[in-house]
Amino acid sequence: MSISPNVPSPHESYQYESSGTPRWIAVLFGLLIAGVALIVYAGHSVQARVDQELSKNEEQNKILTAQLEQANTRIADLKGQLEVTSQKIGMTQAELAEARSRAESIRKQQVASDQKLSDQISTAQKEDEAKIGAVATDVTGAKKDIEATRTDLEATKTKLERAAGDMGVMSGLIAHNHDDLEELKRRGDRNYYEFTIQKSKTPQRVGPVQIALNKTDQKKSRYTITVLADDKSIEKKDKTSGEPVQFYMKGSARLTPYEIVVFDVNKNQITGYLSAPKDTSAAPAK
C-alpha cells in the first residue's frame, strides 16, 4: 500500500509534538517538585522539632506545674502558719498591753507610795525638828536652870557654914532658912527634923526628942527651951537664932552631938530644925 506523500507518519507526528514542549518547563516542573519535596521535608522537620519542643515544654510544664503545686502548698502552709502566728502575736500584744497596764498601775502605786512615804518622812522630819527645837529650848532652859542652881548652890555653900556650938564642938553645916534646910536634906549627911514650936508647958515631939518652948525675946532673937532626951531634961537658956544648940544622947557611936538650930524667933513661937547623926541608935525620948 502506498502512502501518500502529504500524510505524515506516526513517528514523525510524535517528534513534532515532542519538539513542541519547551524543556525549561520540565526543568521548572522538576524544580517545583524538588522544592515541594524540600518544603515537605522542611515542614516535617519543623513539625518534628515543634513536636519535640512541645514535648519538652510539656515536660517542663509538668515540672513547673508540680513545682507550682509545691509552691502553692508551701504558700498555703506558710499562710496557715502566718495566721497562727498572727493570732499568737495578737494574743501576745494583748498580753503585752495587759502587762504594760499592770506595770503602769504598779508604777502609779509605787509613785503614790513613794510620795506618801516622802510626805511621812517630811512630816516626821518636821516633827523631829520641832521636837529637837523644843528639846534644844528645854536644854537651854535646863542649862539656865542648872546655872541658876549652881549659882544658888554657890550662894548656899556660902550660907551653909560651920559654927562652934554652945558646947564648944564645931557643928555640921548650918541652915539659916527653910531653903538651906532643904539643901541639907538633899545632901543627906544627917537626919533633919524641921519644927515650929509654940510657947507651951507641954513639950512637942521632934524626931527622937521632945522640946518645950519656955521664953522668947523677938527683938534680940533669943529664946529658952527645954529638951527631954534619954529621960533627962536639958535646959538651953538665952540661945540666939542661928546658934547650934548641942546635946548628946545614948547610942551615938562617935559621940557626935545632936544640934538644934532656930532660924526664926517670934513672940511666942520658934522655927528651926533638929539635926541628928545618921549612925545613932538611940531610942526616941519620951
What digits encode the pLDDT tens for the residues 229-242? 988 999 999 999 99
Task: Report residue 119's pLDDT band, with 50, 70 and 90 as the boundaries.
Answer: confident
Same domain, 153 and 207: no
* Grid cell for residue 222: 533669943
Q: Is residue 250 part of a domain?
A: yes
The verdict on 126 and 189 lying in the same domain is no
Tally of helices (H runs) and strands (E runs) in the chain:
3, 8
User: What is the reported pLDDT for 150?
Assistant: 65
Residue 38 has pLDDT above 90, yes or no: no
Query: Are 214 and 186 part of one and the same domain?
Result: yes
Lowest mean pLDDT among 82-86, 186-190, 280-284: 280-284
**C-alpha torsion 103→105→111→117, nearest 10:** -110
- Tell me, yes or no, whether 77 and 149 share the same domain: yes
CB atoms within 10 A of CB 266: 14
pTM (two decimals): 0.45
Question: pLDDT band at residue 20, thresholds of 50, 70 and 90?
Answer: low
Distances (CA, A) of 147 to 143, 144, 154, 207, 228: 6, 5, 10, 35, 44
Whether pLDDT at 1 is above 50:
no
Structural domain includes residue 7 = no
**Which DSSP symbol is given to 161?**
B
For position 3, what pLDDT does the model report? 47
Are residues 151 and 195 located together in one domain of the fold?
Answer: no
How do residues 158-197 score in pLDDT, each as one tens digit?
467 777 878 888 888 888 999 999 999 999 889 999 999 9
Highest-confidence segment of 59-73, 96-110, 151-165, 213-227: 213-227
Burial class, 182, CB count within 10 angstroms (exposed 0-12 / middle 13-18 / buried 19+): middle
- Same domain? 188 vs 64: no
- % pLDDT > 90, the chain: 28
77-86, 134-143, 254-263, 268-277: lowest mean pLDDT where? 134-143
| pLDDT of the residue at 283 | 43
Amino acid (one-letter) located at 74: R
**29 and 139 in a common domain:** yes
User: Same domain for 36 and 148?
Assistant: yes
Residue 51 to residues 38, 44, 47, 85, 152: CA-CA distances in angstroms?
19, 10, 6, 48, 141
Work out the average pLDDT over 69-80: 80
Over 60: is that where the pLDDT of 154 sits? Answer: no
Residue 218's domain comprises 178-276
Across the range 192-207, mean pLDDT stands at 94
What are the strands, taking DSSP E only, across 112-231?
191-198, 204-206, 209-217, 222-229
pLDDT score for 282 = 45
